[in-house]
Structure 1
Amino acid sequence: MLVSDLTLEQKIGQMFICGFHAQEPDEQIRRLIEEYHVGGVIYFRRNIGEPEQVAAMSSSLQEMAAKQGKLPLWIAIDQEGGMVARIDHRRVSRIPGNMSLGATGNPDFTYRVSAISAQELHALGINMNFAPVLDVNNNPRNPVIGVRSFGEDPEQVAEHGSAAIRAYQEHGVSVAAKHFPGHGDTSVDSHLGLASVEHGMERLREVELKPFVRAIRDGVDVIMTAHVVFPAIEKEAVPATLSKAVLTGLLRDQLGYEGVIVTDCLEMHAIAKHFGVGEGAVLAVEAGADIVLVSHTLQDQIEAVEAVMAAVRSGRIPESVIDAAVSRVLKLKEKRLQPSGTQDSAPAFLERHEKPETERLLREVAASSITLVKDDGQLPLQEDEPVLVVWPELRSETQVDEPWTEAKTLGQALSEYIQDVNELTISAEPDLHEVEQVLAAAKGYRQVVVATYTAGSELPAGQRRLVEGLIALQPQRLVVASTRNPYDLAAVPASPAYLCCYENTPYFMEGLASILTGHAKAGGTLPVSLGSQTTAS
């Protein structure tokens, strides 16, 4: 289908990807497809059940569009791996997150696990992944990127990002590399506020932009924008998503990118609270965005579509701008999207005989990722001696912290090696009462292992007090293992032994247990700097 075959309403619809709130097509998404002609859908955990349900929902959405004589839909998802995985069903591979892969130092691992993910997404009718994250995480206080990044070295991020891009696109899934021009050196979560990166252009070219330059060279299908202000590029205090200087001047004109540009969700506070979703959509299109993402609320989704429509009809946005954007979208759809109903059978694919091989690979990646940072004679644990394990439980889900529903705790994993394991579960933000309970219990143990979990920019005060209290008790062996943010050591530098796992997913807890008991060696190398406390690697 050519751009000239579409009405103005249909063209503008092709420039939107929207979400909904059910596990089958509901009135919200039906209205968006049939009345507003949206060109794509995004899934979140609220949409995900059994694999058969996901595949059937994908087919139903495509059939809904086809019956209206509309183009095939983008069906998108944020399946980054690690702690950001919208699909967490046991029959879908639990691929590691980016920092875990960065710690292996092996881009081939990144290619192989991305290929597995691509094949599984394709089997579920999902044809676009909002990944990989190409942000260079060089700010320990970054509350939203962190372990979603491959690390702090721009060359390493570029190499691993390139491997992921190739794997997904070679297996029929478009990727959206994010968040251009770089969300790594911020201390504000753009879901909640407006961040700024103050560096000059020379520094941006040497660090933040390098992974995106490599992605463009490698033919990345889509690039997603950052809701972050870059004063060196844009003189006005507007985020990159809404900046013509960033999207057109830098990304298109200077870097030569000819693919599709998609915004991050406009309902995030960096846009919604400062500009409004409707005006944000208009500004994003004026800046050079081809697709606008509005993930959650029907009222906001309709407001955004109608605002762009009104801007074209009033002459604020020339229709030629719309035509150029839609032309890029249609060109990519023709390249990537299969006709409705031709995807693999999800049940057959997900039960394929290669599953044991996949599991061996994921265990190998975990072992190659876990990093021994510091050990003052604490390891290995003695298997004939009781051990107390302290496990922080993530009890609130966010867009960037999604616990697996079928999780495996460190205590459960250690029980495969040590008969007498007592595991105490605490909140990721424990109060004083929880801390005192754990310290009282720990007095009877000579071996203690405490996992830490940081969802934001620094270790919660309760976890810090707990580790400090355990250190003061001076058990014969005390090991601290970060199960997300590697920077936790800065809060508890006196820890006698410290390991980084980068995520608390089952393969990593199994790998950590084998390392703690001396049955395996930690194979990872720190992908970020932790300062002077590092005594082993």
Structure 2
Amino acid sequence: MWSRVSVAAATVGVLVVSAASPSAATGKPVDRLIRHMSLEEKVGQLFVVEVFGQDADTVSAAAAANNQRLYGVSTPAQVIDKYQPGGVIYFTAARGPDNLQSPRQIATLSNGLQAAATRQRTGIPLLISTDQEGGAVVTRLSAPATAMPGNMALGAGRSRADARRSAEVIGTELDAVGINQNYAPVADVNVNPANPVIGVRSVGEDPGLVADLVAAQVDGYHDGGVAAVAKHFPGHGDTTVDSHFGLPEVTHTRAQLKAIDLPPFRAAIRRGVDTIMTAHVVLRSIDPSGAPATMSKPILTGLLRGDLRYDGLIVTDALDMGGATGTYPPEVAPVEAFKAGADQLVLAPQMDVAYNAVLDAVRSGEISKRRLDDSVRRILRLKTKRGLFADPFVDAALAEKVVGAPDHLLDAQAISDRTTTLVKNDAGLLPLAPDPRDVLVTGWGVTTTATIGAAISRRGQTVTVVETGLTPTQARIDAAVAAAAATDLVVVSTNNAANVDATTGLPTASAAAQQALVAALLATGKPVVVSGMRNPYDISRLTTVPTYLATYGYTAGSIEALVRVLFGEVNPRGRLPVTIPRADGTGALYPFGHGLSYG
């Protein structure tokens, strides 16, 4: 049996060799390490876990209770000691773990977890991941971290250089706090305007555009020092069910799959993407059994490994999502996902049950030891490639300088300025003259409306803010209408005001209420500007609005870009990366590529 020192020395040797030849990471040093790992250590490498708390060794009573509930131990370090997992994923307090408070704290937590991992017998460091996609929908690190625009905003900007730089900034800041793997970019092609889970997380509806910008982001994340993860294979862009809550079905034929869904993944593979994440979606044209892709050998091994010739790491989407748990019990899901071709199992519910189920499957021969070694080899190969065996630790003091660095913030704003799309300007209201006026800012989002109002106020306007919520009540609509009477201009922010119920085909309660708000404000006779702050499709249900813009997000940079466009400080350059359909389904209201400019 090797000592930890001798094993660590061998793995450092892997790093030296692989620096000269990327393919050498599959050679003797990694194989030697695998031979000296126990079966339990190998199975541990397959799992990516969440931990509660902001420090590896000292946590609050609430965090300790949650760790005890999930794992039977109290601290994040003890979770690492118990399972020796291959990876950890960070979340905000919104989910519960509350891992992400400040750059120094995150870096300290990362160092503490790496210390716990590397003091184990094998000394194998962790892949530490999160979901920092850009934009405002799926993002984990908040200010002072730089809020780069999201995918669909980048799609509106059409710039490979901007997409690459955006990913580089995100990657650089993640790397600074010890997060070495980002579950991004989203490679889904959003061809379904009713998609409830992807939408602005996608670059758009054109496979070529999505492929170009996904490839650029893969390069950017690598430039920033983190592993990129293209998701959600084989494509989640044409669904009407959110896989967090149910199991969607993609009805694409093989020909449609090849033409629409696969090009971004092929492009990512060509750029050397480190990891591909699975989707909990059914795709019967590849697997008639109806198994979700995460548990489908024809999709993961046949299509991804075979047809696309991908030999990088495959990770599952979270196994605690409805798309997985609705069909597969806790002891079945991880085994079936692994047998299908996945290498790492993310957020398996009931960790003890999942771990022992995989361990038993290997011991019984249901999973071969060779198959287990193949996955462990891919995991160690990625850790070697990312330099984690050489040094998994980060400088916590430096993290404070890197995260939210001035040049990052400047680049974020410059890129955001190139993404806002002026869809409709029938009354010629925009750009606004700089003359002082009374402006009402209303609509969705407490922070969003306040931020819009503050930006307009800085331009010498007198601003009243009346936030009406995601589902405005009649009382709030009446309050906004009353406020409009005393103003010269109304700016309304909407959020998915075109959403329809998948069963009835009618607007959701939220969408109907937002539509009623806009109609009431138009009836006042005041000039009204509507800005769709998330998916750009809102105009399909607000066709009487004379002035409409799409921002594809509500980060501070997106809002500043919106106001700059309103006042003509920036000429709108964004072009729709999706088609805006007519509400009655009779064709396109605004085509892909549409966008107005000044002059």
TM-score w.r.t. the length of structure 2 is: 0.84
1:256 to 305, 309, 312: 309
Q: Decide whether aligned partners of structure 1 residues 494 and 205 sit closer, same or farther in structure 2, where only a CA change above 3 A counts.
A: same
Q: Give the alignment of 1:120-159 within 5 angstroms.
A: 120-159=173-212
- Alignment correspondent of 1:317: 367
Q: Decide whether aligned partners of structure 1 residues 418 and 393 sit closer, same or farther in structure 2, where only a CA change above 3 A counts.
A: same
- Aligned residue for 2:133, secondary structure, equals strand
- Alignment correspondent of 2:79: 32
The answer on whether the counterparts of 2:136 and 2:553 sit within 8 Å (CA) in structure 1 is: yes
1:436 to 478, 503, 506: 478
- One-letter amino acid of the counterpart of residue 180, structure 1: F
- Alignment correspondent of 1:303: 353
1:6 to 37, 56, 62: 37
- Alignment correspondent of 1:274: 327
CA offsets, 1:101-127, max 9 Å, x none?
111110100111211111111110110
The answer on whether the counterparts of 2:251 and 2:284 sit within 8 Å (CA) in structure 1 is: yes
- Aligned residue for 1:115, secondary structure, equals helix
CA offsets, 1:373-417, max 9 Å, x none?
0011222335322111114127xxxxxxxx89xx96211111111
- Alignment correspondent of 2:235: 182
The answer on whether the counterparts of 1:375 and 1:536 sit within 8 Å (CA) in structure 2 is: no
- Aligned residue for 1:360, secondary structure, equals helix
Q: Decide whether aligned partners of structure 1 residues 523 and 44 sit closer, same or farther in structure 2, where only a CA change above 3 A counts.
A: same
The answer on whether the counterparts of 1:72 and 1:337 sit within 8 Å (CA) in structure 2 is: no
Deviation at 1:426, TM superposition (A): 2.1
- Alignment correspondent of 2:382: 332
Return the alpha-carbon distance in structure 1 between the equivalents of residues 228 and 579 of structure 2. 29
Return the alpha-carbon distance in structure 1 between the equivalents of residues 561 and 403 of structure 2. 24
Q: Decide whether aligned partners of structure 1 residues 116 and 343 sit closer, same or farther in structure 2, where only a CA change above 3 A counts.
A: farther
Deviation at 1:32, TM superposition (A): 3.3
- Alignment correspondent of 2:555: 505
- Alignment correspondent of 1:389: 441
Return the alpha-carbon distance in structure 1 between the equivalents of residues 55 and 471 of structure 2. 35
Deviation at 1:30, TM superposition (A): 3.3
Moved more, 444-453 or 21-30: 21-30
Q: Decide whether aligned partners of structure 1 residues 339 and 256 sit closer, same or farther in structure 2, where only a CA change above 3 A counts.
A: closer
- Aligned residue for 1:81, secondary structure, equals coil
- Structure 2 unaligned spans of 5+: 1-29, 60-73, 93-97, 501-509, 582-587
Q: Superposition RMSD on alpha carbons, in Å?
A: 2.1
The answer on whether the counterparts of 1:40 and 1:75 sit within 8 Å (CA) in structure 2 is: yes
CA offsets, 1:493-512, max 9 Å, x none?
11111000011111111111
1:367 to 392, 398, 417: 417
The answer on whether the counterparts of 2:439 and 2:461 sit within 8 Å (CA) in structure 1 is: no
Q: Decide whether aligned partners of structure 1 residues 265 and 240 sit closer, same or farther in structure 2, where only a CA change above 3 A counts.
A: same
Deviation at 1:31, TM superposition (A): 4.0
Return the alpha-carbon distance in structure 2 between the equivalents of residues 314 and 341 of structure 1. 37
- Aligned residue for 1:351, secondary structure, equals helix
Identity among equivalent pairs (%): 40
2:108 to 36, 48, 56: 56
Q: Decide whether aligned partners of structure 1 residues 457 and 231 sit closer, same or farther in structure 2, where only a CA change above 3 A counts.
A: farther
Q: Give the alignment of 1:44-193 within 5 angstroms.
A: 44-45=91-92, 46-69=98-121, 70-193=123-246
The answer on whether the counterparts of 2:497 and 2:514 sit within 8 Å (CA) in structure 1 is: no
- Aligned residue for 2:493, secondary structure, equals strand
- Alignment correspondent of 1:421: 463
Q: Decide whether aligned partners of structure 1 residues 455 and 189 sit closer, same or farther in structure 2, where only a CA change above 3 A counts.
A: farther
Count residues with an aligned counterpart.
523
- Aligned residue for 2:101, secondary structure, equals coil
CA offsets, 1:209-268, max 9 Å, x none?
110011111111100000000010001111100000000010011110010100000000
- Aligned residue for 1:79, secondary structure, equals coil
- One-letter amino acid of the counterpart of residue 468, structure 1: A
Deviation at 1:343, TM superposition (A): 4.5
- One-letter amino acid of the counterpart of residue 431, structure 1: T
- Alignment correspondent of 1:400: none
- Structure 1 unaligned spans of 5+: 395-402
- Aligned residue for 1:307, secondary structure, equals helix
The answer on whether the counterparts of 2:424 and 2:546 sit within 8 Å (CA) in structure 1 is: yes
- Aligned residue for 1:264, secondary structure, equals coil
The answer on whether the counterparts of 2:107 and 2:399 sit within 8 Å (CA) in structure 1 is: no
Runs of 4+ in 1 over 6 A off after TM superposition: none
Return the alpha-carbon distance in structure 2 between the equivalents of residues 348 and 35 of structure 1. 31
The answer on whether the counterparts of 1:192 and 1:269 sit within 8 Å (CA) in structure 2 is: yes
The answer on whether the counterparts of 2:221 and 2:227 sit within 8 Å (CA) in structure 1 is: yes
Return the alpha-carbon distance in structure 1 between the equivalents of residues 186 and 430 of structure 2. 34
The answer on whether the counterparts of 1:79 and 1:131 sit within 8 Å (CA) in structure 2 is: yes
Moved more, 483-492 or 356-365: 356-365
The answer on whether the counterparts of 1:130 and 1:175 sit within 8 Å (CA) in structure 2 is: yes
Return the alpha-carbon distance in structure 2 between the equivalents of residues 223 and 469 of structure 1. 47
- Alignment correspondent of 2:452: 410
- One-letter amino acid of the counterpart of residue 471, structure 1: L
Deviation at 1:433, TM superposition (A): 2.0
The answer on whether the counterparts of 1:92 and 1:350 sit within 8 Å (CA) in structure 2 is: no
Deviation at 1:85, TM superposition (A): 5.0
TM-score w.r.t. the length of structure 1 is: 0.93
Return the alpha-carbon distance in structure 2 between the equivalents of residues 337 and 206 of structure 1. 36
The answer on whether the counterparts of 1:262 and 1:293 sit within 8 Å (CA) in structure 2 is: yes
Return the alpha-carbon distance in structure 1 between the equivalents of residues 48 and 151 of structure 2. 25
Moved more, 275-284 or 81-90: 81-90
Q: Decide whether aligned partners of structure 1 residues 352 and 42 sit closer, same or farther in structure 2, where only a CA change above 3 A counts.
A: closer
- Alignment correspondent of 2:18: none
CA offsets, 1:63-116, max 9 Å, x none?
011122330001000011111454444332111111111111101001112111
The answer on whether the counterparts of 2:77 and 2:112 sit within 8 Å (CA) in structure 1 is: no
Q: Decide whether aligned partners of structure 1 residues 342 and 15 sit closer, same or farther in structure 2, where only a CA change above 3 A counts.
A: closer
Return the alpha-carbon distance in structure 1 between the equivalents of residues 444 and 78 of structure 2. 42
- One-letter amino acid of the counterpart of residue 424, structure 1: V
Q: Decide whether aligned partners of structure 1 residues 478 and 84 sit closer, same or farther in structure 2, where only a CA change above 3 A counts.
A: closer
